[in-house]
Amino acid sequence: MNQSPPRMTRRIVFVAAPEVEILDLVGPLQVFARASEMYCRENPGSAPIYSVEVVTTSAHRSFVANCGVRITAHKTFRELRGQIDTLLVAGGNSIERDEINPEVLRWLRKIAGRIRRVGSVCTGAMLLARAGLLDGRRATTHWNWCEVLIRRAPRAHVDPDPIFIRDENVYTSAGVTAGMDLALALVEEDYGSRLALQVARNLVLYLRRPGGQSQFSAALSLQVTDRQPLRELEAWVLDNLNKPLTVPVLAERVAMSPRNFARVFTKEMKTTPAKFVERLRIEAARRRLEESQNSMEAIAGECGFGNVNSMRNVFQRALKIPPGQYRRHFRHAKRPVRKRDKNSN
C-alpha cells in the first residue's frame, strides 16, 4: 500500500450498554478490525493499526443485545485502564430509556478529555449528551430520535439530516449502518482514502457516503407510504430520469388527475413531486459520478438535468459542492477522471 508502518496501534474502545443495538456495535467494530487485518496483510511484519475492545456500562462483562444475542465484553467500564485513541458509544434501548448508571456519566466525563476522538453511533449520542460532551457542538443521531436529543442536549445544535457530523474531536452519527460510514471516515482520516475504499469494497459497502449526505434518500421515503401506485412510481421514475417528469406525466402514470396527484403526493411524501424527482436525479447522478467513467455531459443527460450547467446548479444548491469536485473527492481512487471532466466544476 506504499505506506510506512504506523508508529503505534490505535486503541478503539466501543462502549455498549445492555440492550445495545447490535449493528451499532458490530458494524463499525468490523470496519476497524478489517482495516487492521487488510493493512497487516499488505504490510507483513507491521504492527496492527487498530486494536478493538468492547466495554460495557453494566456491572458484569456479559450482557444481552436488543436482538437477544448475548455479548461478552472485554471489560466493564470500571476495569478499563490505559490510553485510548478513539471511544465510540453504541446506541440501544437502555440508553434511549435513560437507564444508565450516573457513575458511567462521571466516568465518561472524566476520561473524555484524555481521548483523541470521542463519538457515538445512532442513539449513543444520548449518553454523550447526558455527560455534557455535546454542549455547544453540532450533533446528529437517528432521525427518529433527534427531537429527544434536542430535549436532552439543549445546549447542542442538533441537525437531523447528516449521516454523521464532526465537531472538532467529537463525532456523532445517524442511525444504525451510518456508524459504518463514520468508521470508514475515521479510517480514512487515519490512513488515507485508499485503505478506506479497500475496506468498503471488502465489506461490500457503499463506497463512502459523505458525512453531509442526507439520512433521507428519496427512494427510502417512498417506502413509508401505503399507497401502492406511489410506491410503484419510484421504479418507473428511476428508469425514465432522462425524460420530462412533469406533474401531468407522473399523474398519468398513476391514473390520477394532475391536481389530485400533486395534492396526494405532497400530503403523503411531505414534499412536492418536482423536489422528489430532483432528489432522485441527484442520487442517481452521485452514484454515476462515484462509480462510472461516464463524462459529465453523459451523466447530466442520463439523469435528466439536460446539461452540465443545470446539474452543477442543482448540486451546488442541494449538496453545497459542484459535481466535478464531488467526483474528484468521492470516486474510486483507481479510476482517474477523464481530462474533459476536469473543468466541469
pLDDT digits (tens, 9 = 90+) for 67-84: 999 999 999 999 999 999
Quick check: pTM over 0.85? no
Residues 113 and 241 in one domain: no
Residues 67 and 189 in one domain: yes
What is the Cα–Cα distance from 164 to 162, expressed in whole angstroms? Answer: 5
Q: pLDDT grade, residue 198 (50/70/90)?
A: confident
Burial class (CB in 10 A: 0-12, 13-18, 19+), 242: middle
Pairing of strands 10-16, 50-56: parallel
Q: pLDDT grade, residue 284 (50/70/90)?
A: confident
pLDDT score of 242: 92
CB 117, CB 12: distance < 8 Å: no
Residues 273 and 149 in one domain: no
Provide the 8-state DSSP code for 273: H
Provide the 8-state DSSP code for 140: -
Whichever domain contains 163, its CATH number is 3.40.50.880
Q: 10 Å Cβ neighbour count for 66?
A: 17
320 lies in which domain range?
218-341
Residues 168 and 233 in one domain: no
pLDDT average, residue stretch 322-337: 65
Residues whose CB is less than 8 angstroms from the CB of residue 50 and which lie 6 or more positions away in sequence, other chains included: 9, 10, 11, 12, 32, 33, 35, 36
Give the number of domains in the chain: 2
